[in-house]
């Protein structure tokens, strides 16, 4: 598996880091090991994007912007596994989605969920980047390499990619391949993630807080539209003082809460009013995205499918303000506990429960029909 390890650090780099790690004595007291990871440019050189792939990223970002800002009457549909754990299954899923995307392109802008980092309520598997072998060895260099390879393979099939930004360093390694990004409910009020979003090159959705608060996410959409200054790294791994332009394409995602769902018409209407009061610009003046998973379905894939059907019915009836939907979907239904690949059911989630492929295809066709009916009103 050496080919999956990713670019190596130099011997000098490893030695220098080791020497610094023990001085001064008041630093790194609770750290066992510091394993240097090559700079982002090393990974980008090892797995570069072709002109065709880059064109797909640019074009899909603009299509997403146009939908979110009301310039395109299609519906944004962000679908795919809760998390990527098996590159082969991810490629299999992307191939299926690519065919459906061609069929439904007049009505849906389909983007695949390609999530590599998982926020944990307490502890648990943190995603492909952190633990690619699902065995607690935490080979992050290999995980970063595998993540970039998965993205390249998905793009090669003509499918744009979406991901959740969790660690503020990760985007330098992967963001050139991403068409849409999310900030999760646990981080929606984080200053670090508002700064990060202000400099990202793609539209970014902020989820409502886990307690259901809309204000925190609305404030994030507003704050991220402004310039920010903060510490970061560049493509060569050097620490820099970053100055961002501000991201005009941030928007709200309703994902339910610990108190229950918030996808119903009244909740959507109230959220749109909150966005209006927040003075968040751009997409927030037009509408929002509804996540059919998480708190909106109680993490039950059968209920999740029913949520999507409910949203489709309302869209077909002309309800305004819903510019996109999110759905957790994979090849097989449900979920299983994380374990090494040879111990797992192929194509089944190791995090949240997912809608199976056949049902996913049916639901996407239902959404496309809803868009056609809305267009005919």
Average pLDDT, the chain: 94
Within a domain: 121: yes
Q: Which pLDDT value is given to residue 16? A: 56
- If you average pLDDT over residues 36-59, what whole number do you get? 97
* pLDDT given at position 119: 84
Return the half-sphere exposure (C-beta side, CA atoms, 13 A cut-off) of residue 365. 9
29 inside domain: no
Domain assignment of residue 21, yes or no: no
Using DSSP, state whether 326 is helix, strand or coil: strand
What average pLDDT does range 292-308 have in this prediction? 97
Please give the average per-residue pLDDT across 32-49, as a whole number: 94
Instruction: Tell whether 139 is covered by a domain.
Output: yes
Q: Distance (Å, rounded) from C-alpha 316 to C-alpha 88? A: 36
CB atoms within 10 A of CB 280: 24
Task: Give the pLDDT of residue 4.
Answer: 53
Compute the distance between CA of residue 320 and CA of residue 265 in angstroms, rounded to an integer: 10
Contact of 297 with 331, CB cutoff 8 Å:
no
Average pLDDT over residues 99-111: 98
How large a percentage of the chain has pLDDT more than 90? Answer: 88
Average pLDDT over residues 230-250: 97
In a domain, residue 15? The reply is no
For residue 201, being part of any structural domain is answered with: yes
pTM for the whole structure: 0.93
Give the number of domains in the chain. 1
Task: Report residue 325 as tokens.
Answer: 């939907």
What local confidence, expressed as pLDDT, does residue 1 receive? Answer: 35
- Residue pair 338/362 in contact by the 8 Å Cβ criterion: no
Identify the pLDDT of residue 28.
82
Q: What is the pLDDT of residue 327?
A: 98
Q: Residue 21: what pLDDT?
A: 52
Range of the domain at 82: 39-376
* pLDDT range class, residue 120, cuts 50, 70, 90: confident
User: 288: closest CA among 47, 76, 39, 10?
Assistant: 76
* CATH number of the domain encompassing residue 152: 3.20.20.70
For every residue of 122-159, DSSP letters joined together read SSS---TTT-TTSSS---HHHHHHHHHHHHHHHHHTT-
Q: Measuring CA to CA, how many Å separate 341 from each of 4, 133, 136, 176, 348?
A: 15, 8, 13, 28, 11
Is 10 part of any domain? Answer: no
β partners of residue 79: 112, 327
Would residue 86 count as lying in a domain? Answer: yes
- Write down the pLDDT at residue 324: 98
Q: What is the pLDDT of residue 172?
A: 97
Res 110 pLDDT > 60: yes
* CA separation for the pair 184, 342 (Å, rounded): 30
Question: Can you give the pLDDT at residue 24?
Answer: 73
Residue 35 has pLDDT above 60, yes or no: yes
Q: Is the dihedral of CA 204, 290, 315, 270 positive or negative?
A: negative
């Amino acid at each position: 598996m050496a080919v999956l390890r990713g670019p190596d650090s130099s011997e000098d780099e490893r030695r220098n880091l080791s020497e610094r790690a023990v001085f001064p004595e008041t630093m790194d007291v609770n750290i066992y090991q510091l394993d240097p990871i090559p700079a982002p440019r090393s990974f980008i050189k090892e797995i570069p994007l072709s002109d065709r792939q880059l064109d797909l990223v640019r074009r899909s970002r603009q299509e997403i912007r146009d939908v979110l800002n009301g310039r395109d009457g299609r519906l944004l549909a962000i679908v795919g596994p809760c998390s990527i754990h098996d590159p082969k299954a991810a490629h299999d899923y992307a191939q299926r989605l690519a065919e459906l995307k061609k069929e439904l392109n007049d009505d849906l802008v389909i983007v695949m969920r390609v999530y590599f980092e998982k926020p944990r309520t307490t502890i648990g598997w943190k995603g492909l980047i952190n633990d690619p072998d699902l065995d607690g060895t935490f080979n992050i260099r290999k995980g970063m390499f595998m993540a970039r390879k998965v993205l390249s393979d998905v793009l090669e099939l003509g499918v744009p990619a979406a991901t959740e930004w969790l660690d503020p360093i990760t985007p330098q390694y992967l963001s050139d391949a991403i068409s849409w990004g999310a900030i999760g409910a646990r981080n929606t009020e984080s200053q670090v993630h508002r700064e990060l979003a202000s400099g990202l090159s793609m539209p970014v959705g902020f989820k409502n807080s886990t307690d259901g608060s809309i204000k925190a996410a609305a404030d994030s959409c507003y704050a991220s539209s402004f310039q920010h200054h903060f510490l970061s790294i560049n493509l060569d791994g050097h620490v820099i003082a970053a100055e961002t332009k501000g991201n005009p394409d941030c928007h709200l995602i309703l994902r339910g809460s610990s108190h229950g769902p918030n996808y119903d018409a009244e909740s959507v209407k109230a959220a749109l009013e909150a966005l209006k009061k927040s003075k968040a610009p751009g997409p927030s003046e037009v509408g929002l995205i509804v996540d059919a998973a998480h708190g909106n379905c109680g993490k039950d894939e059968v209920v999740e499918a029913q949520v999507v059907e409910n949203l489709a019915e309302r869209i077909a009836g002309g309800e305004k303000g819903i510019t996109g939907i999110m759905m957790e979907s994979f090849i097989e239904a449900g979920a299983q506990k994380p374990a090494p690949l040879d111990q797992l059911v192929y194509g089944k989630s190791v995090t949240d429960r997912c809608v199976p492929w056949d049902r996913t295809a049916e639901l996407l066709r239902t959404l496309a029909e809803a868009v056609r009916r809305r267009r005919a009103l």
